[in-house]
Structure 1
Amino acid sequence: MSKKGKKPADSPATERPRPIASTVAPPPARSAPVTSASSPPTAPPKPTQAAPPDALIWFDKRVKITLGVFVGIFLLFVLFKWHYISLPAWNEILPDGGPAKRGLVAGTPKRIRMDDYAVGAPWILSNANTGFKTENEAVGGLKTPLLTLPVKHPIIIFKIGYWGFMFLDVERGYSWMYNSSPLILLLGTFLFFLLVSKNQYWLSLTGALTLFLSSGTVRWSFIPSSMIGYCGLAFVGAVYLLRSTNPKVYIPVAFGLIWIIVSFAITLYPPYQIPMAYLFIFLLIGYVLNERKLVFPPKSVLVKLISLAGALLVAGFVAYLFKSDVDETVKAVSGTVYPGKRSETGGTGFIANWYSEYYSWFFDDQQFPKGWLNICELSHYLNFVPVVSPLAIALFAFTRRIDWMLVGAMAFVVLMWLWMEVGYPEAIAKATLMSMVPTRRGQIPMGVGGIVLLFLYLAALRNVSLSDLKQAIPVWFTPVAIVGIVAFVVYTAYVNINDAEGMLRTDQTFMPVLFFILMNGLLLFSLNIRYRMALFCGGIILFLLPNLKANPLSKGLTPLTENLVYQNVKTLVDKDPDARWIVNGSQFVTYMVTATGAKQITGVKYIPNRKQIFSVLDPTMKRDSAYNRYAHVTFQTYINGAQGDTTILAQQYEDGYVIAGDPCSPKFKKLNVKYMLYDHAPQIPYEVRCMKKAVELGSMTIYERID
């Protein structure tokens, strides 16, 4: 930590060129000032002090202000219940005569993000309405909420996104949950870049904002954000633990590091976690190699190990409780048909292509090449790797100095490219755990690695003096590099025109090609470009800023909670919370019923509820392969008098199946199915022979079983 009024000799304000692997050093001694006989006596100047050894990140005023702004915006959003989830889409999906923009502050809801507004939000409301319990059959069997939802359990210590539900109202808790993820990204990556760039403020801020604004982050509702941020924070914590000699620093850092690692681990999304863990491990190894003279021999090893052991003991106790409670559920998830245990070997490539982000302005959630699946699947990160990598290698050659962090980042990107485009042998894929990383998901961490590589390279350029390199750079290098940059950017246009299925014309690519020729040209260290960093940082933020329109600005949960279907169903659920429900019709109506906290057999199930539901519907497990999956479950009437009481469980698609049967079947009476909501008129009076109308909602009717 800094001391007020003091500044390190090589603080960002001095901006002196430094060697790539240099460390912060005190300024050279200065001679006493010479004064003339006529000049008045002056006090001797105060010596400029270097940052303390533990102050690897110099927390000057602007860094503190920046961190405060990040936290302040987060708290402001929580206060106003703002978030970026497309919940107002419900106003169109199930219109009830209410305001068309209920819950919408600005922007346009994106129907493509139904995992957030149609699955996630109803699940969260369901668990809130049932008291944040660890079991909730409306979302799945066993202890599904422990894996997916806010619950009252010690494990919540490591789930910062769920903290808001424990002390705020549900709407502000929901805002806290979704806004905490980008906050973690901004804090973690800003501090990471400050550390590895040796406190280059503007470069660090731009690096953090680039990861924040990239479509691979934004269009996935910031799902990757917390994982990226935790990796950055873990890197910073590990470096402080290695370098610090002050127990007031490294003891709390040890506990914080364990908290961060556990928080990252229980995010439980291996397709992102595994590659990103490799990326930051490679970077940490590179940092240790760069700074080996300061790291070795290690200092205060025993106390640091004791601190880590103490933190691990506390974390291990909570993890043990969590594992004991969730072990059966994890085994059940792993044993499903879908997603089950992944066994990937890679080699299937990108959904779009590695350079599609250069032309992302031409596509949106309604307009994109059909072969690219959807706007979320094709989104990733700007790719400067084909330019940065050869330039970094040339820089190593000309300076005769290797930056091992750059080497680590390049190695990661190359290994990810091999995974994406070529694949690994099955044994290697399993041994490295990459077998759990589908390539369509691997493109996100690969893109993150490319952005980290880019900013590490830019940081290295600040530490190199062009005048010192002039003698080492051959005359042919600059023109050849310029031709290579132009050829590369033209090639990106060629690839995208061919991939875009006629949606991108050659003439449309002129401005992006020109822009990215200039952007990539700014990376060429042999060109003496004034304001290089300012131009590049400004250019990349300018290009990415429109991604903020990818999600709407929404408020609260009113598109669900004020909908007439929700309110009428919830009234019945509150009167009879143990009764089970079935929706006969639209899957979207099932999502709405789930939100009320109803014990619903239809809806989205994380895993099947074998003990309570399928032990009755399929006691011999004859149709297990149809329902043993994460699935969207619907119901339709099927009455076959010749075969008696027949229930059919039929898979419709990879993550969906239908239950077909007689609504008045004794099986449903045994399951205490008391309410059935029809979104259409029953086909024949016979199918509701055991029911009476409870509530009429326009074209929908809620029937109550009476026999």
Structure 2
Amino acid sequence: MAVITADGQAMSAGPSDARSRLARFGWTFARGIWFFPALLAVLLTLLTVLQISGSSMGVYQSMLYGSQPDANLLLNEPQLIRSDEWIVNTQLTIAQDAAGYPRINPNIGQGADVSVVVDVPYKEWSTAFKPHNLAFLVLPLDYAFALKWWLIALLLILSGYCFVLVLTPGQYWLAAGLSLTLFFSPFVQWWYQYNTLAPLYYALFIATVFVLLLRSKRLLTTIAWAVLLAYLLTCFALILYPPFQIPCALALAIFCVGHLVERYGAPRTARLRQLVFAAASLVVAGILIGLFVATRLDVINTVLQTAYPGQRLTRSGGFDLAHLFSGHTSLGLESSSSAAKYSLPEKGLTNQSENSNFLLMLPYLIAPSLYLLYQTHRTRRIVDWPLLLVNLAFLGALAWLFVPHLSAFGRLLFLDRVPHTRLLIGIGLLNFIGLVLFVRRLHDQRSALPGRTAIIGYTLALLLVQTLLSLHVVRTFPGYLHLGGFVLSLVPVPLVAYLALRRRFAWATSVLLAVSVAMTAFIHPLYRGTTTLTQTPLSRSIRAMTAEDPDAVWAAEVGIIQNFAYMNGAPSLSGVYAYPQSQLWRTADEQGQQDFVYNRYAHVWFTFDRNPAVMSTTTFTLTGADHFRVNTEPCGPFLRQHRVKYLVTGTEINESCLKLRDTIRYPEATFLIYEFW
């Protein structure tokens, strides 16, 4: 092949020219908008193919096998404290796979609607608005499980990436860095599950699409953004975890109002058309949400009327001020022994997840933000409404946390439905949005800040504040922060603030990201597959007996195996009940005297009476806000009435109605399966 040079002579295009073009394309792609998403997609694909997740299901290895090495554990250690993941969502997901992904799983008690409260895959139209679960309907379990685990991470990172780019176009590496700092926030990692990450990423995607909708000029483009906005709004609503949704929705609303006011100067006709389409998106989303609620209204009403979580209300004030601003000390949470020293039960701070926080920068940028706002208004006669309103919203959140007697304020904004420790997710979202808006304003107003001397003085003041906060943590929780952690805790906020104020955004983001990774890198294990649960001897034994009699009901006496029966496709009375099945338990409590005990989201297992000489009545024991135990006779009427055929226990039962069917021995535990004669 020949090419024509500038002087009209022909010359051949050899391999070196092809390599040169390929290199130019690679360099252009690496500097473009799609490089970071493509890199994330490659990582997602690789981890899915290798069936690697961050699940802590490996806790069963130590429970059952002691110190024997776990071949599926690739890195770090499972987290016992993350039981909502390894004993609830993970095992319910496996149970759905065993049952064929029904919306109403018949194996959980008298049948449980899994489309509310818990996050598991099921076959129904509403799954289209839970895209992270769609893979289960087409892929084998282990691949789909790994894909879901990392897909919610990818969506959170991409939402932050898109949000930054829509406000600061062309800043690809800044967008990548800031979105990664959000993902590696201690709060996000300790609470890592769909119900936590989804409110964040749907809020950021909605904000991004709303901005693009208001900027659109062509009709077809406006329609496309409106359709996407309706879809995202529906996805956000169907998360169905108000304690996290409400704070994120408020943060989203504040930003959208600010941006709408900022766009007030746009041409009236275009602005009106965009608002009409935005309103249409809300209407369409409202119809879809209403259809979802109407088709499971009885279940939703049951959840609302439970003793736990029920309609719990929170009063304003009383939160721990030092804790809110001590996110820079989160390094100590990675060690379980150190984390055990950090506890304030009266404030709701009881474990690593509840104690986790965001590394907050917005409080320390409020003063510079107000200065920027003043300078912008003084020199250009404009107001940065998004930045102003986000800062005011942050101060409003602080008022709710620390100022008592704001009940009217709380009822108006539904904050009284949000426990204080859950409100931190909204504060974290405001922190991210505010940081992006601050960077945008600094880009637009390059000469607004004072000189280096003033910035250094402000940085030293921040260093003093951080030192006092860290000293308070050391004094209040001895043993939580060691010397290295204490020194490291002093660095990030002052250094990031200094670099940001000097407009060294790449360096500021790098420091923020490095510290965030250091505080969270050892939280999750890298774990391969689900065979620890699905191929363990107890699971194989349950499946074999269920194949003989698929309708036989099981009941387990040992808490850690409460879900094993329905996880392996067998009907079970023990297990996690996402909402109460009061009709089931009232058959043993005819007078309803213990309704308060079983009227809740609960982990349920049994205690079987060992005294053949005494026939005890069935009773219920509340062992925790979300745990209750059923005390009953193994040969009594309650189990017979509900067609229970198999009992799983940890110790022997000598009853004439039972015969020992199987004994499963592990190095650290033994399980006995009894069958009714």
Contact residue 139 and residue 145 of structure 1 kept, 8 A: no
Residue 638 of structure 1 corresponds to 609
Per-residue deviation, residues 71-128 of structure 1 (Å, max 9, x unmatched):
332233222222111112211123399x731432222111111111112111111122
State yes or no: 1:385 paired with 2:366.
no
State yes or no: 1:561 paired with 2:534.
yes
Change (3 A) 1:237 1:659: same
Distance of 2:320 and 2:231 partners within structure 1: 34
Residue 168 of structure 1 corresponds to 139
Shift of 1:424: 5.3
Which one-letter code corresponds to 1:331 in the other structure?
N
Match of 1:215 among 186, 193, 197: 186
Match of 1:533 among 505, 510, 524: 505
Per-residue deviation, residues 353-403 of structure 1 (Å, max 9, x unmatched):
023221222342412224142222111111223320001111222342532
Per-residue deviation, residues 405-430 of structure 1 (Å, max 9, x unmatched):
11122112111111222245333322
Residue 691 of structure 1 corresponds to 658
Which one-letter code corresponds to 1:336 in the other structure?
T
State yes or no: 1:433 paired with 2:388.
no
Distance of 1:359 and 1:419 partners within structure 2: 24
Contact residue 316 and residue 407 of structure 2 kept, 8 A: no
Residue 625 of structure 1 corresponds to 596
Matched residue of 2:673: which SS? strand
**How do 1:5-84 and structure 2 match up within 5 A?**
62-84=32-54
Per-residue deviation, residues 263-293 of structure 1 (Å, max 9, x unmatched):
0111011111111111111112222233332
Contact residue 203 and residue 533 of structure 1 kept, 8 A: yes
Off by >6 Å, runs of 4+ in structure 1: 639-643
Residue 19 of structure 1 corresponds to none
Matched residue of 2:158: which SS? helix
Residue 16 of structure 2 corresponds to none
Unaligned runs of 5+ in 1: 1-39, 41-58
State yes or no: 1:242 paired with 2:214.
yes
Residue 104 of structure 1 corresponds to 73
Match of 2:490 among 502, 507, 513: 513
Contact residue 603 and residue 628 of structure 2 kept, 8 A: yes
Shift of 1:229: 1.1
Shift of 1:496: 2.0
Contact residue 648 and residue 659 of structure 1 kept, 8 A: yes
Contact residue 634 and residue 659 of structure 1 kept, 8 A: yes
Match of 1:652 among 599, 623, 642: 623
Contact residue 692 and residue 704 of structure 1 kept, 8 A: yes
Distance of 2:470 and 2:646 partners within structure 1: 57
Shift of 1:499: 3.0
Contact residue 143 and residue 329 of structure 1 kept, 8 A: no
Shift of 1:251: 1.4
Which one-letter code corresponds to 2:317 in the other structure?
G
Change (3 A) 1:79 1:573: same
Change (3 A) 1:231 1:129: same
Matched residue of 1:353: which SS? helix
Contact residue 88 and residue 102 of structure 1 kept, 8 A: no
Residue 122 of structure 1 corresponds to 91
**How do 1:196-595 and structure 2 match up within 5 A?**
196-223=167-194, 224-294=196-266, 296-299=267-270, 301=272, 305=276, 309=280, 312-313=283-284, 318-350=288-320, 353-366=323-336, 367-368=338-339, 369-371=341-343, 372-399=349-376, 400=378, 401-423=382-404, 425-466=406-447, 469=448, 473=450, 477-478=454-455, 480-504=457-481, 509-524=486-501, 529=502, 532-546=504-518, 547-584=520-557, 586-595=558-567
**How do 1:89-100 and structure 2 match up within 5 A?**
89-95=59-65, 100=69
How much identity, in percent, do the aligned residues show? 22
Matched residue of 1:597: which SS? coil
Contact residue 342 and residue 480 of structure 2 kept, 8 A: no
Match of 1:150 among 121, 143, 153: 121
**Which TM-score applies when normalising by structure 2?**
0.87
Which one-letter code corresponds to 2:366 in the other structure?
S
Contact residue 639 and residue 646 of structure 1 kept, 8 A: no
User: What CA RMSD, in Å, does the superposition of the two structures yield over aligned residues?
Assistant: 2.8
Matched residue of 1:608: which SS? coil
Per-residue deviation, residues 127-165 of structure 1 (Å, max 9, x unmatched):
221121222355466643121221111111101111011
Which one-letter code corresponds to 2:560 in the other structure?
F
Shift of 1:680: 1.2
Distance of 1:105 and 1:363 partners within structure 2: 21
Distance of 2:49 and 2:227 partners within structure 1: 30
Change (3 A) 1:303 1:543: closer
Contact residue 132 and residue 151 of structure 1 kept, 8 A: yes
Residue 678 of structure 1 corresponds to 649
Which one-letter code corresponds to 2:64 in the other structure?
L
Contact residue 344 and residue 437 of structure 1 kept, 8 A: yes
Distance of 1:474 and 1:535 partners within structure 2: 19
Distance of 1:571 and 1:204 partners within structure 2: 52
Shift of 1:346: 3.0
Distance of 1:257 and 1:437 partners within structure 2: 26
Distance of 2:436 and 2:479 partners within structure 1: 34
Distance of 2:321 and 2:356 partners within structure 1: 9
Distance of 2:260 and 2:566 partners within structure 1: 51
Matched residue of 1:94: which SS? helix
Distance of 1:424 and 1:599 partners within structure 2: 49
Matched residue of 1:92: which SS? helix
Report which stretch shifted further, 254-263 or 376-385: 376-385
Which one-letter code corresponds to 1:211 in the other structure?
L
Residue 665 of structure 1 corresponds to 636
Distance of 1:317 and 1:188 partners within structure 2: 25
Contact residue 344 and residue 435 of structure 1 kept, 8 A: yes
Report which stretch shifted further, 317-326 or 401-410: 317-326
Change (3 A) 1:663 1:643: closer
Which one-letter code corresponds to 1:155 in the other structure?
S
Which one-letter code corresponds to 1:329 in the other structure?
V
Shift of 1:494: 2.8
Matched residue of 2:270: which SS? coil
Matched residue of 1:600: which SS? coil
Matched residue of 1:336: which SS? coil
Contact residue 462 and residue 493 of structure 2 kept, 8 A: no
Q: Which is richer in helix?
A: 2
Report which stretch shifted further, 482-491 or 148-157: 482-491
Shift of 1:464: 2.5
Distance of 2:97 and 2:480 partners within structure 1: 45
Report which stretch shifted further, 327-336 or 595-604: 595-604
Equivalent pairs counted in the alignment come to 632
**Which TM-score applies when normalising by structure 1?**
0.83
